[in-house]
A and B are shown apart, each in its own frame.
Chain A
Amino acid sequence: MKLTTTKRLERLNDRYINGDLSRRTFLGLIAAAAASAGISMAWMSEALAAVEQIRFDGWGGVVQDALSQYAFQPYTAKTKIKVVQGTFGNETEILTKIKTGIPGDFQVVHSSGVANYVKWVNAGMTSEINEANIPNLVNVMRPMIEPFRKLTPKLSAVPYDYGTTGIAYNTTVISPEEAQEKGASLLFDKKYAGKIGGFSDMVARVWYAALATGQDPNNIKDMDAIWAKVREMRDLAKKFWGSGAELMDLLAKGEVVVTDAWSGRVAVLQQQGHPIGYLDPPGSLAWMDDMLILRGSPMAECEELLNFMLEPATAIAVAEAQNYPPSLDPTKVKLTEKIKKLPAYDATGTMKSLTFTDPIYWEANSDAWTKQWDRISKGA
Chain B
Amino acid sequence: MKISPTITVAAGLSTGADKRHEDGQMLRVRTTKGWTLYDPRLAWMLVAPVLLLLIIFLVLPIAVMAVYTFFTFVTAGVETGTLTTANWHEFLTDSYYHGFLWKTLRVAAMTALLCGVLGYFPAYFIWATTFKHKWLLLLLLIVPFWISFTIRTFSWINILGEQGVINVALLKMGIISEPLPMLYNEGAVIVGLLHFLLPYMILNVYVSLESIDRTLISAARSMGCTSAQAFREVTLPLSLPGLAAGLLLCFVLAAGSYVTPQLLGSGRDALFGNLISDTIMEQLNWPMGATLSIVLFVVLGFFAAIYTRYMGMSQIVKGLGG
A residues with CB within 8 A of B: 90, 92-93, 95-96, 99, 119, 122-123, 194, 200, 202, 234, 237-240, 242, 249, 253-255, 366-367, 370-371, 374-375, 377-380
Assess A366 versus B76: contact at CB under 8 Å? Given A240-B267, A253-B161, A378-B268.
yes
B164 to chain A, nearest CB (A): 8
Q: Evaluate contact between A90 and B267: CB separation under 8 angstroms.
A: no
With a cutoff of 8 Å between Cβ atoms, the chain A residues found around residue B76 in the complex are: 92, 119, 122, 366-367, 370
Interface hits, B256-270 → A, CB 8 Å: 262, 266-268, 270
Q: Evaluate contact between B181 and A371: CB separation under 8 angstroms.
A: no
- Is B210's CB within 8 Å of the partner chain A? no
- Is B184's CB within 8 Å of the partner chain A? yes
Q: Evaluate contact between B184 and A96: CB separation under 8 angstroms.
A: no
With a cutoff of 8 Å between Cβ atoms, the chain B residues found around residue A96 in the complex are: 77, 280-281, 284
Interface hits, B195-246 → A, CB 8 Å: none
- Is B88's CB within 8 Å of the partner chain A? no
Q: Evaluate contact between A99 and B75: CB separation under 8 angstroms.
A: no
Closest to B263 in A: A246
Q: Evaluate contact between A374 and B278: CB separation under 8 angstroms.
A: yes
Closest to B158 in A: A253
Query: Bound complex: CA of A99 vs CA of B157, how far in Å?
Result: 33
Assess A119 versus B157: contact at CB under 8 Å? Given A96-B281, A254-B162.
no
With a cutoff of 8 Å between Cβ atoms, the chain A residues found around residue B126 in the complex are: none
With a cutoff of 8 Å between Cβ atoms, the chain B residues found around residue A254 in the complex are: 162-163
Q: Evaluate contact between A255 and B183: CB separation under 8 angstroms.
A: yes
Query: Bound complex: CA of A240 vs CA of B268, how far in Å?
Result: 11
Q: Evaluate contact between A194 and B181: CB separation under 8 angstroms.
A: yes
With a cutoff of 8 Å between Cβ atoms, the chain A residues found around residue B57 in the complex are: none
With a cutoff of 8 Å between Cβ atoms, the chain A residues found around residue B78 in the complex are: 122-123
- Is B91's CB within 8 Å of the partner chain A? no
Q: How many A-B residue pairs have CB under 8 A?
A: 75
Q: Evaluate contact between B281 and A377: CB separation under 8 angstroms.
A: no
Q: Evaluate contact between B281 and A93: CB separation under 8 angstroms.
A: yes
Query: Bound complex: CA of A371 vs CA of B97, how far in Å?
Result: 13
Query: Bound complex: CA of A238 vs CA of B262, how far in Å?
Result: 13
Q: Evaluate contact between B283 and A367: CB separation under 8 angstroms.
A: yes
Q: Evaluate contact between A238 and B96: CB separation under 8 angstroms.
A: no
* Residue in B75, B157, B262, B281 whose beta carbon sits within 8 Å of that of A92 in the complex: B281
Query: Bound complex: CA of A331 vs CA of B266, how far in Å?
Result: 46
- Is B127's CB within 8 Å of the partner chain A? no
The 7 A-B pairs with the shortest beta carbon distances in the complex, nearest first, are A377-B267, A379-B268, A123-B77, A374-B278, A253-B163, A378-B270, A378-B267
With a cutoff of 8 Å between Cβ atoms, the chain B residues found around residue A367 in the complex are: 75-76, 283, 285
* Residue in B77, B262, B279 whose beta carbon sits within 8 Å of that of A99 in the complex: B77
Q: Which of B78, B278, B285 lies at the interface centre, i.e. has the most chain A CB atoms within 10 A of its CB?
A: B278
With a cutoff of 8 Å between Cβ atoms, the chain B residues found around residue A194 in the complex are: 181
B159 to chain A, nearest CB (A): 12
B143 to chain A, nearest CB (A): 26
With a cutoff of 8 Å between Cβ atoms, the chain A residues found around residue B270 in the complex are: 378
With a cutoff of 8 Å between Cβ atoms, the chain A residues found around residue B184 in the complex are: 238-239
With a cutoff of 8 Å between Cβ atoms, the chain B residues found around residue A238 in the complex are: 184, 266
Interface hits, B14-60 → A, CB 8 Å: none
* Residue in A90, A119, A371, A380 whose beta carbon sits within 8 Å of that of B281 in the complex: A90
Query: Bound complex: CA of A90 vs CA of B284, how far in Å?
Result: 12
* Residue in B162, B163, B280, B284 whose beta carbon sits within 8 Å of that of A119 in the complex: B284
- Is B124's CB within 8 Å of the partner chain A? no
Assess A242 versus B262: contact at CB under 8 Å? Given A96-B281, A119-B77, A254-B162.
yes
Query: Bound complex: CA of A257 vs CA of B145, how far in Å?
Result: 35
With a cutoff of 8 Å between Cβ atoms, the chain B residues found around residue A377 in the complex are: 267
Assess A380 versus B96: contact at CB under 8 Å? Given A90-B282, A371-B283.
yes
Q: Evaluate contact between A234 and B77: CB separation under 8 angstroms.
A: no
With a cutoff of 8 Å between Cβ atoms, the chain A residues found around residue B162 in the complex are: 253-255
16 contacts between A and B (CB under 8 A): A90-B281, A92-B282, A93-B281, A119-B284, A123-B77, A123-B78, A238-B184, A238-B266, A242-B262, A253-B157, A366-B75, A367-B75, A370-B283, A374-B278, A374-B282, A378-B274
With a cutoff of 8 Å between Cβ atoms, the chain B residues found around residue A242 in the complex are: 262
Query: Bound complex: CA of A366 vs CA of B161, how far in Å?
Result: 34
With a cutoff of 8 Å between Cβ atoms, the chain B residues found around residue A90 in the complex are: 281-282
With a cutoff of 8 Å between Cβ atoms, the chain A residues found around residue B280 in the complex are: 96
Query: Bound complex: CA of A96 vs CA of B286, how far in Å?
Result: 9
Q: Evaluate contact between B268 and A249: CB separation under 8 angstroms.
A: no
With a cutoff of 8 Å between Cβ atoms, the chain A residues found around residue B274 in the complex are: 378
Query: Bound complex: CA of A237 vs CA of B282, how far in Å?
Result: 21
Query: Bound complex: CA of A99 vs CA of B285, how far in Å?
Result: 12
With a cutoff of 8 Å between Cβ atoms, the chain A residues found around residue B268 in the complex are: 378-379
Query: Bound complex: CA of A239 vs CA of B270, how far in Å?
Result: 12
Interface hits, B82-110 → A, CB 8 Å: 96, 100
With a cutoff of 8 Å between Cβ atoms, the chain B residues found around residue A378 in the complex are: 100, 267-268, 270, 274-275
Q: Evaluate contact between A375 and B96: CB separation under 8 angstroms.
A: yes
What 1/0 mask marks residues of chain B from 131 to 169 whose CB sits below 8 Å from any chain A CB?
A: 000000000000000000000000001000111000000
